[in-house]
Amino acid sequence: MKYALALTLALGTAALAQNARTVELRATIGNWLDPNSPTTDPTVRALMQRFQRENPNIKISWDPQGYNELEQKLLTSTAASNPPDFAYVDSIWVQRLASLGALQPLDNLWSAKDRADYKPPFLAGAKYNGKLYAVWSETDTRVLWYNTELFKKAGLDPNKPPRTWAEFMADAKKLTGSGVYGVGIAFGPHEYLTADLFLTQFWGLGGKLIDAQGRPVFAQGSNRAAAIKTLEFFGNLQKSKVIPPDALQLKGGDSLYAGMASGRYAMVIGNNNAVEGGLKPIAPNTYQQWRAAVLPAPTGGKPSAMNGGFTWAIFTKDPAKQQAAWKFISFWNSPAVQLERYKPTAQVPVRFSTSKDKFYTSAFWQTVNKAVTAGQTRPGVAIYPVMSEQIQQAIQSYLTGQKSAAQAIDDAGKAVTAQYTRQQNR
């Protein structure tokens, strides 16, 4: 009996020791989530640190990367058989990483009850071959931001933002002068150039990136015409000198915040959380001058937008690490924590439950909801990153005078088709 009792106590002690054992995780994230950086949003930083305090047996080493570096880091570390245990993954990378065998399916970790609280597009976009490989963390859309004070100074009605390309160009010309550019825009190589600028106009003209079989078709037929028309619209902005001369060097929406804060730009195409999340911290006294509107409709088209979003995905095959990573993801994506994160940075809810909060009933959110309704998501296909890169190169080669709009799009189409064929033949 004594031996049995001793054995039971020993096993119990071992179990407690096992439960108390520290699990060490490596996580690759966007540098805007870095809990150790003073420039990270205070709410995000506090929540990251709260999780660590409440879960002392889970130690997470954060590896922050800029957006352009994030995907490459995930791909190279996976190729070297040294991926992170979990990571913050752009929704457009999920299928590519899953197709490489880098991600672990989440179906057994994620309860059906919790999944039911997520809006359908954010479940569909996280699947590959019928399995869930990621949890959508937040989403956003694209809007036209305009400075109401600069509108007034230019004799424009701040209650009547431009609704068409023609009105947008006319307003931009009136707003340009005395150190102010009508449009702040970043034409440097970055996903912003494809997602925020090209796609929002291309889709408004009825363009399609891929067909029903997932084949790239943006450089064919009416899609080609829409792509050329979009590049020419960018060229007209450049020729009219309503954009800054350094636009080709600026990369990403974040590069525009300083110009918004200083009054250098009067209008900006960007993320719906650009003002709350990006401008407010550096211009606390003037950020309220900026107002959001649905993006202007292209000539012969309709308003559109790009609905984006980041997800969390698990790479490790270690069951203990999977459980620890899932504990963080569950914390981060819980309804209460989502609302804490969303409100300061104006994120669009991915859960039904968070959408019901009274915070989302203001005029601003009505505008955002209109943009979301008009918008589309980037296709989560393996060829998309190649398409995006080639479209960026096409825009730059056209704006620098190296190619005509038609030649730039045709060359991009050929490069993407060649890569798509190689992918299919693997």
* pLDDT score, position 20: 60
* Weakest-pLDDT range from 40-49, 292-301, 314-323: 40-49
pLDDT digits (tens, 9 = 90+) for 138-188: 888 999 999 999 999 999 999 999 999 999 999 999 999 999 999 999 999
Per-residue pLDDT at 316 exceeds 70: yes
Distances (CA, A) of 379 to 213, 216, 304: 12, 10, 15
Largest CA distance in the chain: 93
| 318 and 285 part of one domain | no
| 94 and 190 part of one domain | no
- State the residue range of the domain holding 94: 2-139+308-374
State percent of the chain over pLDDT 90: 76
* pLDDT score, position 104: 98
* Domain count across the chain: 2
- The C-alpha atoms of residue 118 and residue 121 are separated, in whole angstroms, by 8
State percent of the chain over pLDDT 70: 95
| 187 and 290 part of one domain | yes
Averaged pLDDT score across all residues of the chain: 92
| 222 and 346 part of one domain | no
| 66 and 105 part of one domain | yes
| 250 and 267 part of one domain | yes
| 229 and 284 part of one domain | yes
| 317 and 300 part of one domain | no
| 226 and 126 part of one domain | no
* pLDDT score, position 19: 52
* Weakest-pLDDT range from 92-96, 165-169, 199-203, 330-334: 92-96
| 179 and 84 part of one domain | no
Per-residue pLDDT at 9 exceeds 50: no
| 338 and 390 part of one domain | no
CA-closest candidate to residue 309, choices 43, 74, 88: 88
CATH number at residue 89: 3.40.190.10
Per-residue pLDDT at 324 exceeds 90: yes
Q: Which pLDDT band, with edges at 50, 70 and 90, does 195 fall under?
A: very high
* pLDDT score, position 2: 44
* Weakest-pLDDT range from 14-18, 49-53, 161-165, 334-338: 14-18
CA-closest candidate to residue 308, choices 106, 108, 91: 91
Per-residue pLDDT at 17 exceeds 50: no
| 197 and 259 part of one domain | yes
Q: Give every CB contact of residue 144 below 8 A, 6+ residues apart in sequence.
A: 161, 162, 168, 267, 268, 269, 292, 293, 294, 295, 296
* pLDDT score, position 374: 87
Crossing angle of helices 165-175 and 221-239, rounded to 10°: 10
